[in-house]
Amino acid sequence: MNAKIHPQDTGIGIVGLGLMGSSIIASLLALGYPVKAIAPIHGEKEIGYKRILEQLLLCEKFNILSAPVDEYMALLTVSAEYDELKECGLVVECIVENLAIKETVFKKIAAVTKKDAILASNTSAIPISILQKAVPDPQRFIGIHWAEPAFATRFLEIICGNQTSEATTDAVVRLALSWGKEPTVLKRDIRGFITNRLMYAVYREILHLAEKDHTSFADADKCFRYNAGSWMTLMGIFRRMDYEGLKDYFAAYKNIFPLLSNSDDISPQMQKIVDAHSRGIQNGKGFYSYTRQEALQWSQAFSEFNKDIFHLAANYPERVNEAHTKS
């Protein structure tokens, strides 16, 4: 299998123009890549085009673009026809988290793409090893998991299925680096990948503490914002442990681990929220209540914060020693 993709000549296709798909497309357009965007759902073309334009306008606000937005939109082709993907070296699926629908879509993708094209999914819920069974050559199938908004974060999770080749993984890592990402590679395909497993461990514990009335949701949020939030972007987990000297961690593990929740049950509080059809800021009901104006303010604040953290993180690269040597 030939997976020697060169970033500068890789045509990219994205299937699905939902919130995540549109964000990924805008991110790639902002880097100067021509993108073939496939809208598999009737009526999605017009909505998707508008979303992509809105995302590019945010890129402009972030000072990411070096030319007018119209010039980037000119790199975009939006279609309902899968044939548009025939010259793409990489095609990423970004549709609903439904295995049967994804399998159907990947069969359509595989039917029109080049034999050496890499096929990928942005799924955060379905194992890559299952999805890759839907394509003729599972060696060139991989997971590429972005965070939202795609253009304003350096996060990118690359997930290898059981049959993903090393050449495919290497090619996608090179692409990710050319996109300005700091890719992480999950060598074994485990449900939830890395980021979701870490975060859901936190969600389970904090819901457990709140339901036992040890703390409130507001105070739990303060702990995360003003403690972990002050160092996580700079250091991550293991470097933080090194920074603090390690000696206290072993004793803490012995004393705290037995007390942590390991329940497999759905949190009663979460079940209550789901039963009430709460959607957070989307409908004003969640762990907190929101007026329409408050929901809008949180969306705007999230956008502004991502802009600030994107530029701030660039001042503190992972390879600190290299950066200091060059300065």
Consecutive 10-residue averages of pLDDT for the chain (327 residues): 49 94 95 94 88 92 90 95 96 95 96 96 92 96 92 91 96 93 89 86 93 94 91 89 87 88 90 92 93 91 84 71 46
Secondary structure (DSSP) of 181-242: -EEEEESS--TTTTHHHHHHHHHHHHHHHHHTTSS-HHHHHHHIIIIIHHHHHHHTTHHHHH
Q: CA-CA-CA-CA torsion for 179, 98, 91, 77, nearest 10 degrees?
A: -90
Per-residue confidence (pLDDT) for residue 245, from 0 to 100: 87
Residues in the chain, how many?
327
Contact 14, 37 (CB under 8 A): yes
Provide the whole-model pTM: 0.80
Q: What is the pLDDT of residue 325?
A: 44
pLDDT of residue 10: 66
Query: By 3-state DSSP, what share of the chain in percent is helix, strand and coil, each rounded to 5?
Result: 55, 10, 35
Whether domain 7-186 has CATH 3.40.50.720:
yes
The pLDDT, as a whole number, for residue 251 is: 83
- From the options 1.10.1040.10, 3.30.70.20, 1.10.3720.10, 1.10.10.1800, give the CATH code of 198-326: 1.10.1040.10
Task: Give which of 234, 254, 252 is closest to 243, Cα–Cα.
Answer: 234
Tokens of residue 215, six digits: 């703390």
Rounded to 10°, the helix 44-61/19-30 angle is: 50
pLDDT tens figures, 11-49 = 899 999 998 999 999 999 999 999 999 998 888 889 999
Give the Cα separation of 63 and 295 in Å (integer): 25
Q: Which amino acid is at 129?
A: S
Strands 90-93 vs 76-79: parallel, antiparallel or unpaired:
unpaired
Q: Domain ranges in the chain?
A: 7-186, 198-326
Which helix (H) or strand (E) element contains residue 158? strand 155-160
pLDDT recorded at residue 1:
42
Q: What is the pLDDT of residue 7?
A: 44
Q: How far is CA 239 from CA 181, 231, 236, 253, 324, in A?
A: 19, 10, 6, 17, 18
